[in-house]
């Protein structure tokens, strides 16, 4: 099979590799999903042309994850680009819309009631005497646009008890407010505090200090699926089937509450010590009865209705399943380019390159997920998620046994201790002044400072 060669760009949150990958071996960069605009109807770019209406800027992701070497684009990209590129909103392109069979008929605006009500689920977040100073920092697991994730251990714990090692997600309050992410961060806490599923990360407690908010999450030691996929270059259909089936069950569970996830990608899928996936990072998750218009996610994984600002819902998650299935079996996503504009145009054109060795059932599954008409997209029709479970590609899967975690996983991460971090990047610890609540217990603010307008927006933490 002809293999694409990728530029050795890395996200701004990770170091730039010192040398390029061997020729012919894909070494795509890790993706950041740190772009967001406010809620409301918008028109993302469909082509790199500039409109004349003087619309304001929108913020998109840093660089696209993949930059395939093509004859019509340069092979390298600038690794020093600013992590938040700003693009002018252009007028809608005509050619892209004509080349893709997109559903233009007005969808029913009648909200679909959730099969289950999240408000009826009991919150499992700890609200006892636990404090930030009860934890010691063991290492840094990752960094992002306005936060980081640390590995922490409960100080008074038995070192051999895995329940006492946690991932502590830290978000800077001032940055959350500046980037207008308050609603999404509070939604992340609310959703994670009530959902419980074997393939979704657990939230145990939340805190805040003068600078940050903190989410205490289960530590999943096997690392990102992204890392294992890059090492293997691509997965067989059988390996892909195991991982995709766990994701389908997680999405089916979330969708039963009318929760859309909106950030599916290998970087947000962690392998536990038994090799099962856990869905993590619910920063873009949202309860949506009908549709929402927030532009968020990762360029390669955006559904066409998001790009066209037609409003999106659960169908966008099933589209992302198709992108992920292709990426796992091929090694790179079906739509990639040097710029978000190029990616958007290719998504709307809908032309997919199929490797010769890909079997018919795999093609059929991916095509069903990537149907441009939401009303005909697998997972979003009358049968809902059950249509996905009944697809011929999943024939033979024991869904009940899988959800009970009774099937041996294809990859068992090598882990020697409960705080083993070998499957994560080696990153430095943050300065003490950036995590004050973890270093010492802060004194209550003076009376005139108790009504801090920033802290007031995170009362649930």
Which of 3-12, 97-106, 131-140, 241-250 has the weakest average pLDDT? 3-12
pTM: 0.78
Which of 65-79, 151-165, 276-290, 420-434 has the weakest average pLDDT? 65-79
Structure tokens that stand for 4 in this block: 């694409």
Bigger pLDDT: 439 vs 443: 439
Kindly indicate the confidence band of residue 4, based on its pLDDT and cuts at 50, 70 and 90. Answer: very low
**Per the residue annotation, which of 202, 209, 263, 337 is the catalytic one?**
263
* Mean pLDDT for all residues in the chain: 79
In this prediction, residues 291-295 reach a mean pLDDT of: 90
pLDDT, residue 64, reads 53
Report the alpha-carbon distance of residue 362 to residue 46 in Å, rounded: 29
Q: Could you read off the pLDDT of 246-270 as tens digits, one per residue?
A: 999 999 999 999 999 999 999 999 9
Q: Could you read off the pLDDT of 149-179 as tens digits, one per residue?
A: 999 999 876 555 557 899 999 999 999 999 9
Report the alpha-carbon distance of residue 296 to residue 292 in Å, rounded: 11
Given a cut of 70, is residue 72 above it in pLDDT?
no
The answer on whether 169 is annotated among ligand-binding residues is yes
pLDDT, residue 159, reads 55
Instruction: List residues bridging with 167 in a β-sheet.
Output: 151, 217
pLDDT, residue 33, reads 64
pLDDT, residue 447, reads 52
φ and ψ at residue 6, rounded to 5 degrees: -110, 150
Report the alpha-carbon distance of residue 382 to residue 385 in Å, rounded: 9
pLDDT, residue 397, reads 97
Highest mean pLDDT among 111-115, 143-147, 297-301: 297-301
Tell me, yes or no, if 263 is annotated catalytic: yes
- Percentage with pLDDT > 90 across the chain: 61
In this prediction, residues 110-136 reach a mean pLDDT of: 85
pLDDT, residue 249, reads 98
Structure tokens that stand for 54 in this block: 């003087």
Given a cut of 70, is residue 226 above it in pLDDT?
yes
Bigger pLDDT: 94 vs 447: 447
Cα 177 to the chain's mean position, in Å?
21
pLDDT, residue 101, reads 43
Q: Count CA within 13 A, CB hemisphere, residue 310.
A: 20
Given a cut of 80, is residue 355 above it in pLDDT?
yes
Structure tokens that stand for 53 in this block: 């209406």
Distances (CA, A) of 431 to 83, 140, 212, 439: 22, 12, 13, 10
Q: Is-contact 336 67, C-beta < 8 A?
A: yes
Other beta carbons less than 10 A from residue 373's beta carbon: 16
Given a cut of 90, is residue 401 above it in pLDDT?
yes
- Percentage with pLDDT > 70 across the chain: 73
CATH for 119-221+415-458?
3.30.200.20
pLDDT, residue 381, reads 96
Kindly indicate the confidence band of residue 307, based on its pLDDT and cuts at 50, 70 and 90. Answer: very high
In this prediction, residues 356-369 reach a mean pLDDT of: 96
Given a cut of 60, is residue 321 above it in pLDDT?
yes
Kindly indicate the confidence band of residue 283, based on its pLDDT and cuts at 50, 70 and 90. Answer: very high
Q: What SS3 string covers the chain?
A: CCCCCECCCCCCCCCCCCCCCCCCCCCCCCCCCCEECCCCCCCCCCCCCCCCCCCCEEECCCCCCCCECCCCCCCCCCCCCCCCCEEECCCCCCHHHHHCCCCCCCCCCCCCCCCCCHHHCCCCCCCCCCCHHHEEEEEEEEECCCEEEEEEEECCCCCCCHHHEEEEEEEEHHHHHHCCCHHHHHHHHHHHCCCCCCCECCEEEEEECCCEEEEEEECCCCCEHHHHHHHHCCCCHHHHHHHHHHHHHHHHHHHCCCEECCCCCHHHEEECCCCCEEECCCCCCEECCCCECCCEECHHHCCHHHHCCCCECHHHHHHHHHHHHHHHHHCCCCCCCCCHHHHHHHHHHCCCCCCCCCCHHHHHHHHHHCCCCHHHCCCCCCCCHHHHHCCHHHCCCCHHHHHCCCCCCCCCCCCCCCCCCCCCCCECCCCHHHCHHHHCCCCCCCHHHCCCCCHHHHCCC
Kindly indicate the confidence band of residue 140, based on its pLDDT and cuts at 50, 70 and 90. Answer: very high
Report the alpha-carbon distance of residue 173 to residue 452 in Å, rounded: 12
Report the alpha-carbon distance of residue 149 to residue 171 in Å, rounded: 9
Kindly indicate the confidence band of residue 442, based on its pLDDT and cuts at 50, 70 and 90. Answer: confident
């Amino acid at each position: 099979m002809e293999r694409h060669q990728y530029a050795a760009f890395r996200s701004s949150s990770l170091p730039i590799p010192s040398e390029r990958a061997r020729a012919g071996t894909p070494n795509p960069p890790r993706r950041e999903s740190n772009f967001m605009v406010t809620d409301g109807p918008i028109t993302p770019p469909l082509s790199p042309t500039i409109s004349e209406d003087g619309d304001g800027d929108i913020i998109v992701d840093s660089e696209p994850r993949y930059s395939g070497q093509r004859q019509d684009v340069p092979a390298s990209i600038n690794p020093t680009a600013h992590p938040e590129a700003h693009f002018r909103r252009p007028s809608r392109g005509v050619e892209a819309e004509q080349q893709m069979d997109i559903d233009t008929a007005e969808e029913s605006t009648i909200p679909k009631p959730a099969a289950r009500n999240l408000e009826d689920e009991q919150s499992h977040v700890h609200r006892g005497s636990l404090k930030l100073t009860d934890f010691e920092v063991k290492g840094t697991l990752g960094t992002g646009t306005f936060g980081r994730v640390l590995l922490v251990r409960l100080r008074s714990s038995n070192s051999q008890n895995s329940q006492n090692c946690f991932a502590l997600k830290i978000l800077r309050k001032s940055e959350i407010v500046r980037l207008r992410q308050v609603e999404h961060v509070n939604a992340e806490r609310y959703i994670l505090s009530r959902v419980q599923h074997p393939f979704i990360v657990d939230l145990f407690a939340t805190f805040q200090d003068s600078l940050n908010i903190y989410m205490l999450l289960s530590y999943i030691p096997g690392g990102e699926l992204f890392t294992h996929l890059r090492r293997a270059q691509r997965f067989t259909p059988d390996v892909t089937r195991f991982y995709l089936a766990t994701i389908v069950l997680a999405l089916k569970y979330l969708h039963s509450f009318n929760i859309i996830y909106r950030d599916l990608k290998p970087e947000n899928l962690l392998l536990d010590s038994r090799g099962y996936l856990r869905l993590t990072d619910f920063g873009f998750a949202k309860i949506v009865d009908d549709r929402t218009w927030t532009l968020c996610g990762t360029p390669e994984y955006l559904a066409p209705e998001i790009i066209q600002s037609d409003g999106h819902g659960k169908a966008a998650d099933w589209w992302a399943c198709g992108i992920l299935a292709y990426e796992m079996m091929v090694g790179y996503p079906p739509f990639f380019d040097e710029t978000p504009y190029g990616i958007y145009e290719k998504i709307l054109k809908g032309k997919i390159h199929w490797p010769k060795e890909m079997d018919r059932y795999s093609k059929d599954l991916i095509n069903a997920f990537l149907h441009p008409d939401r009303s005909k997209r697998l997972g979003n029709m009358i049968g809902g998620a059950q249509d996905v479970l009944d697809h011929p590609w999943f024939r033979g899967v024991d869904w009940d046994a899988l959800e009970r975690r009774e099937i041996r996983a294809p990859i068992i991460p090598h882990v020697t201790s409960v705080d083993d971090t070998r499957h994560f990047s080696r990153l430095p610890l943050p300065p003490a002044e950036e995590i004050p609540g973890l270093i010492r217990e802060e004194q209550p603010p003076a009376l005139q400072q108790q009504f801090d307008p920033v802290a007031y927006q995170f009362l649930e933490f």
